[in-house]
Structure 1
Amino acid sequence: MPWIQLKFQMPRVQAEAAEAALEAAGALSVTLLDAGDEPQLEPGPGETPLWSEVVVSALFEADAARQALVGRLAAGLSEQTGAAPTIERIEDQAWERVWLDDFKPTRFGERLWVCPHGQPPEAQDAVVVWLDPGLAFGTGHHPTTAMCLEWLDAADLAGKTVLDFGCGSGILAIAALKLGAARAIAVDHDPQALDATRDNAAANGVADRIGIHAPDAAPQTTYDVVLANILAGPLVALAPLLIGHLRPGSALALSGVLAEQAEAVCAAYTDSVDLDPPRIREDWVCISGLSKIEQSP
């Protein structure tokens, strides 16, 4: 079935009302996209961040009545925003196949590969994390996730316990288990992320070694490895919580941080963690180090 796509740009403060109006007009879906370059990787608990300027994209059925309606909506939006919206006919296609065209087996570090189901890597000794095409977020291709995966590939994880805070698709926790960790705890405030992690863990044969929790239900204990690939603001705010999950000698890896934010994030952890020099890729930073917490007598 083909669709009609109506797309326009507007300030964030107008987006909620526009979304409601489009849904009331019969839109099958309404999507808000970044109109500039303001990263929003993972909000803090209870937050729903949005960009200052958004592109609103709405899909309608492509029948004659809807085409006329979309034309009237476009005219009204043009008067309201001062810019002409775009109207495009979207033909039906195998959307899962389109997504797979951009998701190929990818290596991170020496051993670790992330692959869509049915596309094994060429390497015979590969450690593979399989991801479901229906759960597309958190595939490892963003620099922040890629650096965390490479860090895990180089780490000694044999028999270790791991906390993945802000787990998304569960890719980091699952990778840690595939690389030899004994048990992982995956935490996220988004129920969809928890569902994705649960499905991906089952598909990778590690469901019996992973605990999946909302933040308020997560175990209050310490771990050998603590991972958090979220945003700089939450990383600073959550520093006491994440440090509280460290034990003497624990390894910490933080990402989702822009280069200009690295100093503030490092400052929140430096008293408790012996930090390595930050690794930078495409203006994104991964911060890692070992806990300086001393063993209790």
Structure 2
Amino acid sequence: MPTRPTRASLPKWPTLNLERQFDGAVCGIDEVGMAPLAGPVVAAAVTLPTDSKPRILRGLTDSKLLSAEERERFHDIIRDIAHVGVGIASVDEIDEVNIYHANMRAMQRAFDALPERPGFALVDGRARPSVDCSVQMVVKGDRRSLSIAAASVIAKVTRDRLMHELADSFPDYGWHTNVGYGTDAHYLGLLRKGPTEHHRRSFAPLNTLFTPMATAWHRFRFVQIDVEIDPAGVELFFLRNDLHAVFDAEGRHVGIIKNQRGGWTFQAIGYDRDGRPQPGAGPCSRYHGVGLESPGREALIRRLSSEA
């Protein structure tokens, strides 16, 4: 009976020890893209040669621990030496069946896309996909199994490339850097432009703030302001528990308040004549970086007024 790894047995680097407990071909399966606000979920299945650990894979580990350059290098190596399958579940599927079931579909498709079917699969995490072989779930598998680590790299690079391509057509959401995750730039892009067909409408805040019936954000403007504003007229718009957008009395965007390391600060944002955001600029630039006692509107007005 193959042994199941424990948290205490987490090695410094992933190995092929788990794979070698089984007779025949063993693939590793991992996914990326469960949490983003936009883009598909992507899974990969990788069957590595297990007779010896390839020296060219030295340093391969969980894709989140690698730089973009390292991931690209390992991606090409893995493609050269291993059997690889990739599966994708679209945004429409995510919204239709939920992210968990869409992820299961992506992993099943990745397994089915392998050029040769293995007899066993090691799958990262606790959720078991329905694949046509024996399966062992491995918590933190991308830190334990070299095959799962390889799958994590293939899935990550594949999805990042897809999001970079989409970013060329949709430049307002910061996808070149955040690849669809909910960064400040992504949230502010949603406020400026609204959601695209590549956004997951079932995810918060898209399912509340940006539905066809929600119109509050339509009144906001993101324009250059050349005059002083009255701090007493500012209003807040909730985006995340740690992020609120700040607008003046005319609905023009002037900044954000954000919780960083347990403290709230105001961060000014201005816009040039073409509507491009300019962090630290705008009519509230002199308040940029001031601390707040709490995230409420009254606390913000008191702080800005005291700095005026």
TM-score (norm. length: structure 2): 0.26
Look at both structures and tell me which one has the larger radius of gyration over its CA atoms.
2
Higher strand share: 1
Q: Identify the structure with bigger relative contact order (alpha carbons < 8 Å, sequence gap 6+).
A: 2
